[in-house]
Structure 1
């Protein structure tokens, strides 16, 4: 994948997701009190930009299969917009 001229490793990075003040974990964790309206705002398209990922899955947020299913949902929204003109916002 990288070719034959790969140098030997000189260091290793061990991320500390749980202690980094900018992450505080590696998956989404909605705070208490977040409602359906706020959740929909997070995944709402902005212009031509569509948001998807595990954080936009209502049933499986924080999990890999949530990202997978959210990606499928976003692809369907974009396809419907392009092919059928059924856009939730103007592209």
Structure 2
């Protein structure tokens, strides 16, 4: 399989993995926020009742969780593609 074909074949797989990663990261963030803040709902940036520190801390935590989950899923997907095809999707 050529590099271009391999890359194109991985595109739909990567998209599906990305959607799944977003769902998993959202659920994980909700649980981590519940444990860290003792609150079921993370603050929205426009929530007047929440302070700057809480809003920014929630955003930073959410961003970190999403980035780590996405990187892990992308890396796992690429490794799986290499096992299936013998080539790394570039």
Q: Same fold (TM over 0.5)?
A: no
After TM superposition, the score normalised by the length of structure 1 is 0.29
Which structure carries more relative contact order (alpha carbon 8 Å, separation 6+)?
Answer: 2
The structure number with the bigger radius of gyration is: 1
Which has the larger share of helix?
2
